[in-house]
Amino acid sequence: MTPAQLSRRLFLQGLAAGSLVVAVRVSGPCALALVDLETEAALPFEPDVFVSIAPDGWVAIVAHRSEMGTGIRTALPMIVADELGADWERVRIEQAIGDAEYGSQNTDGSRSVRRFYERMRIAGATARTMLERAAAARWGVDATDCAARNHEIVHKPTGRSVGFDELVTAAAALEAPAREELRMKPASERRYVGRDIPIVDLDAIVTGRAVFGTDARRKGQLYAVVARSPALGGRVRSVDAAKAKAITGVVDVIEIPPFKAPHAFQALGGVAVIAKSTWAALQGRRALVIEWEDGENARFDSTSYERALVQAARESGKTLRDEGDVDAAFSEAKDIFEADYYVPHLAHASMEPPCAVAEVTTESDGTVARCDVWAPTQNPQAAQTEVARTLGIQPANVTVNVTLLGGGFGRKSKPDFIAEAAYLARRLKRPVHVTWTREDDLQHDYYHAVAAVHMRAALDGAGRPQGWLQRSAFPPITSTFVRGARYGSAGEMGLGFTDLPYSVPNLRIENGPAEAHLRIGWLRSVAHIYHAFAVCSFPDELAHRAGRDPFEYLMELLGEPRFVGLEGVEYPNHGEPLARYPIDVGRLRHVTERAAELAGWGRALARGRGLGIACHRSFLSYAANVVEVEVGSDGAITIPRVHVVIDAGLVINPDRVRAQMEGATVFGASLALYGEITAENGRVQQSNFHNYRIARIYDAPREVNVEIVASEALPAGVGEVGVPPFAPALCNAIFAATGKRIRRLPIARHDLSS
C-alpha cells in the first residue's frame, strides 16, 4: 500500500463518498486507519490538527517543522505525547506538508519549541480530555476522577482502566473542549519532557534508510544542474550548447531567465543541462560555452570593500540607543580606548547541498494545474509561495513534501533551488531533480553578512568604562528583499547589539551603512556572530589593559542582577514581549559564573595555554563559554576543552540540547578558524573545502562539557545559542596564551608562532 499525501478535507470527502480507504496516510491531521463506512467501522479520532488516534489505538502526531539534526521531529511530538498520556512506543510521527493550518513552518530562529510548546500541550490535552470524558461516560463516573496513563484511561478511585483503542469511537463523537476547560499536567506528572529520548529518525539515518532531499525519486524523473552567472545579477550573453548536447545521456539544455530585482527567493537564472543522470548533466554543464554579461556587481572586490566597511564603522551612524551623556563622558575622559573588529562573509556549507524534485501536472490545454515538490526545505510555506509565483498558479495548488535535511543552518529556508526545479519540470513536462554541487553551494549562497564593528570606551582611573560607544556596519538581510537597503533592520540590530547587557552610565549604539554585492541571508545565529565577537572581545581587552582578571572584570561590567530596560529603543526581542522574556542579567551572570567554576578559572596553566571566557544572550537563552586553548611554537592551535553552560528555560530533550551545544563548538571553530568568503570582480573565490575550510577532527575541541541549567522558565532557543560566545572566548584564550590579540577573523589569517 502506497502512502498518499492528502488534506483533511479530501480525506473526509472520500469517507463521505462511501469509499473504502485502507491504510491511508494523511498529511496534516493524519492517522493510519482502517475505514469501511458500509460496516460502520470506527473512524480515526482527530481532536486536533496535530494529533489523531486510530481505531487500533495508535497515536499519530504531526511534525510540522523540518528536521535537520536538531531533533525537532522528536521534541515537539514528545510534548504532545506527554500531555496526552500516550505510550511513546505506540506513537507514529508524520511529517506535515506545507500548509498554513499549522501556523509558521519556518524552521529557523531557534523558535520551534518556544513558539509551539503551548500549542503542542493544547493538542495533547484536548485529546486526553476527550478520552477521559469518554471513559467517564462509559463508567458513569466524574471525568475529573479519570486520568490518562500510558495509553490508558484510569479511574483513580477504583484503579480500573480502558485502552485508548476502546474509546476512539466514543471520544470522536464528543465536542472538543474549550481552551479554558483543559487541565494541563503539572511538572510532577511528566514522563517524556525533560528526559533523554533518542530521535525518531535515528535507526533510519544510521542504517541508510532515511530519505533526504538527495534521495527523493519520482517515476520517470530527469536530472538537472544549472550554470549560473559568476557575479550576482549577471545574465547570459550567449551560449553554445552543441558539445553539451552531444554527451551521452544529455536530454536538453534550457535557459532559465534571470531574476528581477530584488532577488528575494527567485531562481538566479542561468543555463540548465538536463540528463538521464546527474553525472551526465555535470559533464554536459562542463561542455557548455557561455559568455556572461556580469552586471553591476562585477566591481565588487572584498579587499577594498573591507577598507570601506571599517571606515564606515568608524564614522557617525544612525543612533539606535542613547543613554546618559556619551559626548561629555568622552570629552572628560583622560583615557580612551578603541578597537575595530571584522568578520568576513561566511557560507552555510551544509553537508547536503540544495536539491529538489518537482513534478508538474498540466491541463488538457497545457496550462499548469498543480505542482508537487519533494525537497529538504526549512520553510515549506515559502517554497509553496515561490513555486506558485514561478508557475503562475495558486499556492493551494502546490504541495511541498518535506524530506529530512542534511543540515540547513538557514540556507534551506530560501527556496530558490526549488523554484529552479519547478520551472524545469514545467518546461520538460516530466519530474526534474535539480542538484547543486558543493561548488554551486559555495559560489551562489545567501551569504552571512560581512561586518565591521567599532568599539570605543572612555575609562576612569581604574580602567572602568564611564562612556561606551559601539557601531556596526554590514550589508543587511533586508537587501535580499528591498533593492538598495543599506542599514540593518531593528531585528538584526537587536541580535546582540542594541540589547547590550553591560552596566555603563553613558552608552550609545549606532549602525552604519553598507551596500550588498552578494545575496545576504541568515546563517546559524545570524548577526549575533559578529556582534558577539566584538561585544565579548572588547571587555577582555579592557580587562587586560587595566591589569584585571578578565572574568572578574566581566562580572563587574555586567553589574547587579536586573532586567535591562530599553525604553525608546526599537527592539523586537526575537518576536516576544520583554514582559514575557526580559533581558535578565541575573541569568547571564549565573551561566558565566558556572562556566568559570567548571573550567577552574584562575588555575595555573602551562606555557602556551590560555583560558578565554565569553557570555551572551541570544534567542532568549543565556550561554557562556570558557575555551581552553593550546598554541604551539609553530602557531598551531588545539582546543583541549570547552565548557558550555546554557540556560534555555524548560528543556524538552536534554540530549538534543547537549548535542546542539557540542555541535555549536565545532561549527564555531569552523567559522572562527577558517571561515571566509572573498570576491574579486564580483566572483566568489572559494569553490570547495580546499579553500573554504571547515574544522577537521584535529581542529575540533577534544572535550566539550555541557551543563544545562535546570529551569521551569518559559522555553527559549537552543539550536543557535551555542555559536555566538565561542569565537570571542577562543580569541580571548589565544590572547591569554600568546599575548596576540585577534580582532579580524578568521584566525588562520594570523601568525601565532612564537
State the DSSP string of 273-340. Answer: EEESSHHHHHHHHHH-EEEEE--GGGG--HHHHHHHHHHHHHS--EEEEEES-HHHHHHH-SEEEEEE
Nearest CA-CA partner of 444 in 453, 430, 434? 434
Q: What is the pLDDT of residue 47?
A: 80
> pLDDT by residue (tens digit) across 388-434?
999 999 999 999 999 999 999 999 999 999 999 999 999 999 999 99
List residues bridging with 366 in a β-sheet. Answer: none
> Considering the entire predicted model, what is its pTM?
0.93
Q: How far is C-alpha 258 from the geometric centre of its chain's CA atoms? A: 28
For residue 14, pLDDT beyond 70: no
Give burial (CB, 10 Å; 0-12/13-18/19+) of 619: buried
Q: What is the pLDDT of residue 48?
A: 84
Q: Which three cell numbers stand for residue 397?
A: 495548488
Query: Do 637 and 747 meet the contact criterion of CB atoms below 8 Å apart?
Result: yes
Angle (deg, nearest 10), helices 726-738 and 528-545:
30
For residue 37, pLDDT beyond 70: no
- Tell me the pLDDT band of 9, cut-offs 50, 70 and 90: very low
Angle at 325 (CA atoms; ends 320, 326), nearest 5 degrees: 65
> pLDDT by residue (tens digit) across 580-621?
999 999 999 999 999 999 999 999 999 999 999 999 999 999
Residue 691 DSSP symbol? T
For residue 11, pLDDT beyond 50: no
Query: Do 96 and 63 meet the contact criterion of CB atoms below 8 Å apart?
Result: yes
Q: Coil, helix or strand for 572?
A: coil
| Terminal Cα distance for the chain, rounded | 68
Amino acid at 538: F
Supply the Cα-derived Rg of the chain in whole angstroms: 28
| C-alpha to C-alpha distance for 526 and 86, rounded to whole angstroms | 38
Q: What is the pLDDT of residue 7?
A: 42
Q: Coil, helix or strand for 466?
A: strand
For β-strands 59-63 and 51-53, DSSP reports them as antiparallel
Mean pLDDT of 685-698: 97
Q: What is the pLDDT of residue 5?
A: 40
Give start-end residues of each CATH 3.30.365.10 domain in the chain.
8-206, 214-295+354-435, 302-347+446-749
| C-alpha to C-alpha distance for 633 and 701, rounded to whole angstroms | 19
**Lowest mean pLDDT: which of 10-24, 170-184, 338-352?**
10-24
Query: Do 132 and 152 meet the contact criterion of CB atoms below 8 Å apart?
Result: no
| All residues at 6 or more sequence positions from 414 whose CB lies less than 8 Å from its CB, including other chains | 265, 379, 382, 446, 521
Q: Which residue has the higher pLDDT, 564 or 15?
A: 564
- Tell me the pLDDT band of 46, cut-offs 50, 70 and 90: confident
Q: Phi and psi at residue 342, in whole multiples of 5°?
A: -145, 130
Q: What is the pLDDT of residue 294?
A: 95
- Tell me the pLDDT band of 262, cut-offs 50, 70 and 90: very high
> pLDDT by residue (tens digit) across 648-682?
999 999 999 999 999 999 999 999 999 999 999 99
Q: What is the pLDDT of residue 623?
A: 98
- CATH number for the domain whose boundaries are 214-295+354-435: 3.30.365.10
| C-alpha to C-alpha distance for 296 and 286, rounded to whole angstroms | 26
Q: What is the dihedral of CA 102, 107, 110, 115, to 10 degrees?
A: 0
> pLDDT by residue (tens digit) across 78-110?
999 999 999 999 999 999 999 999 999 999 999
Query: Do 465 and 539 meet the contact criterion of CB atoms below 8 Å apart?
Result: no
> pLDDT by residue (tens digit) across 537-549?
999 999 999 999 9
For β-strands 637-647 and 235-240, DSSP reports them as unpaired
| All residues at 6 or more sequence positions from 364 whose CB lies less than 8 Å from its CB, including other chains | none
List residues bridging with 78 in a β-sheet. Answer: none
How many residues make up the chain in this entry? 754
Angle at 364 (CA atoms; ends 359, 368), nearest 5 degrees: 40
| C-alpha to C-alpha distance for 177 and 317, rounded to whole angstroms | 54
> pLDDT by residue (tens digit) across 180-230?
999 999 999 999 999 999 999 999 999 999 999 999 999 999 999 999 999
Q: What is the pLDDT of residue 40?
A: 34
Chain-wide mean pLDDT for the chain? 93
Q: How far is C-alpha 79 from the geometric centre of its chain's CA atoms? A: 20
| C-alpha to C-alpha distance for 155 and 176, rounded to whole angstroms | 21
For residue 29, pLDDT beyond 60: no
Q: Phi and psi at residue 25, in whole multiples of 5°?
A: -100, 120
Give burial (CB, 10 Å; 0-12/13-18/19+) of 44: buried
Q: Which three cell numbers stand for residue 15?
A: 469517507
Give the ranges where 44-99 is alpha helix by DSSP (H).
72-84
- Tell me the pLDDT band of 15, cut-offs 50, 70 and 90: very low
For residue 67, pLDDT beyond 90: yes
For β-strands 398-402 and 250-256, DSSP reports them as unpaired
Query: Do 228 and 270 meet the contact criterion of CB atoms below 8 Å apart?
Result: yes
Q: What is the pLDDT of residue 44?
A: 65
Instruction: Find where cell 588562520 sits.
Output: 748
For residue 36, pLDDT beyond 60: no
Give the H/E segment covering residue 598: helix 585-599
- CATH number for the domain whose boundaries are 8-206: 3.30.365.10
Nearest CA-CA partner of 269 in 280, 259, 277, 284? 259
Nearest CA-CA partner of 372 in 5, 14, 96? 5
Mean pLDDT of 638-657: 98
| All residues at 6 or more sequence positions from 397 whose CB lies less than 8 Å from its CB, including other chains | 369, 370, 371, 388
Q: Which residue has the higher pLDDT, 89 or 30?
A: 89
| All residues at 6 or more sequence positions from 665 whose CB lies less than 8 Å from its CB, including other chains | 625, 642, 644, 700, 701, 704, 722, 726
Q: What is the pLDDT of residue 45?
A: 74
| C-alpha to C-alpha distance for 608 and 723, rounded to whole angstroms | 25
The domain defined by 302-347+446-749 folds into Aldehyde Oxidoreductase; domain 4 (3.30.365)
Query: Do 734 and 637 meet the contact criterion of CB atoms below 8 Å apart?
Result: yes
Q: Which three cell numbers stand for residue 365?
A: 490545454
Question: pLDDT exceeding 70 applies to what percent of the chain?
Answer: 94
| All residues at 6 or more sequence positions from 356 whose CB lies less than 8 Å from its CB, including other chains | 213, 216, 373, 374, 375, 376, 377, 417, 418, 420, 421, 433, 434
| All residues at 6 or more sequence positions from 420 whose CB lies less than 8 Å from its CB, including other chains | 224, 226, 256, 267, 272, 356, 434
DSSP E strand boundaries for 619-722: 621-631, 637-647, 679-680, 683-684, 703-708
Q: Give the number of other Cβ atoms within 10 Å of residue 515's Cβ.
A: 16
